[in-house]
Amino acid sequence: MIRFLDKLFYSMKIKHIFFDLDHTLWDFEKNSAKTFEHIFSLNNMAIDIQKFLNYYSIINRDYWRLFRNDKVSKEDLRYGRLKDTFDKIKQPISDDTINKLSEDYIEHLSSFNYLFGGVFEILDYLKPNYQMHIITNGFSEVQNQKLINSKIDSYFKNIITSEEVGVKKPNPKIFAHALNAVDAQIGESVMIGDNWEADIMGAKSYGMRAIFCNFENQSVDDSVESIQYLLELKKYL
């Protein structure tokens, strides 16, 4: 009963909800797969798409981890994740082709806009009572277009990207910037995202409440507020 009342109290205090975008609302893996199918076709490349994606998914996450920690540049990420994947599948490829594919990927990624189940329902549920915003480490030139093309841009008052701030989640400076930008206090704000390091530990280290989108059913402590599908947010908000 005490825990329920605590959650009710915290929910009543919350005024601002900060969502991550990729892997939280926007189904990155599915949209990315569709994009690769499309750009391989555009470039007349006969690639075993499933074999490619099996490696790319892991390599891409590793590069994003390095990127978050400022160990690779944006350019290194875009080139390296493709080069390493083609090396894994033993597909000879020139640097020019990798660079062309990298540009095509960014250009076409926002053309595919599958969302996770329950996105519109939960955003409609939350909209009357909260101001909603996005904090993303994704690249500015494509994140805004994803929101527009997937028709969820109207739900969010502010889009904060790591590129505009100059630091990435989990750096506390991006959370400080976000709260300052929307005139919000820590105690009336919550971060919702899928990445344990960037979204959850990042927000908590800043003193901000966080709800973990545990879509991959990771083992987490019972004290962590977590959901396995988006509509479960109704338990907390």
Q: What is the pLDDT of residues 122-133, one digit of tens each?
A: 999 999 999 999
Cross-strand partners of 192: 19, 211
How far is Cα 161 from Cα 136, in angstroms, rounded to an integer?
5
Helix axes 28-42, 49-68, angle to 10 degrees: 120
Q: Which CATH number fits domain 2-27+115-235: 3.40.50.360, 3.40.309.10, 3.40.50.1000, 3.40.50.620?
A: 3.40.50.1000
Query: CATH says 29-109 is which class?
Result: mainly alpha
pTM here is 0.91
Closest CA to 195 of 68, 57, 33: 68
Q: What residues does each domain of the chain span? A: 2-27+115-235, 29-109
Closest CA to 28 of 115, 102, 103: 115
Tell me the mean pLDDT in the region 15-25: 98
pLDDT at 11: 58
| b (16+ CB within 10 A) / e for 81-90 | bbbbbbeeee
pLDDT at 3: 52
Can you spell out the DSSP letters for 109-164? HTT---B-TTHHHHHHHHTTT-EEEEEE-S-HHHHHHHHHHTT-GGG-SEEEEHHH
If phi over 0 gives left and psi between -120 and 50 gives alpha, with beta otherwise, what is residue 169? beta
Average pLDDT value over all residues in the chain = 94
Type of residue at 20: D
In the numeric block, which tokens belong to residue 64?
A: 């994003």
Return the number of other C-beta atoms located less than 10 Å from residue 32's C-beta: 18
Cross-strand partners of 161: 136
Reduced 3-state DSSP string for 28-68? HHHHHHHHHHHHHHHCCCCCCHHHHHHHHHHHHHHHHHHHH
pLDDT exceeds cutoff 90 at 178: yes
Query: pLDDT class for 7, splitting at 50, 70, 90?
Result: low
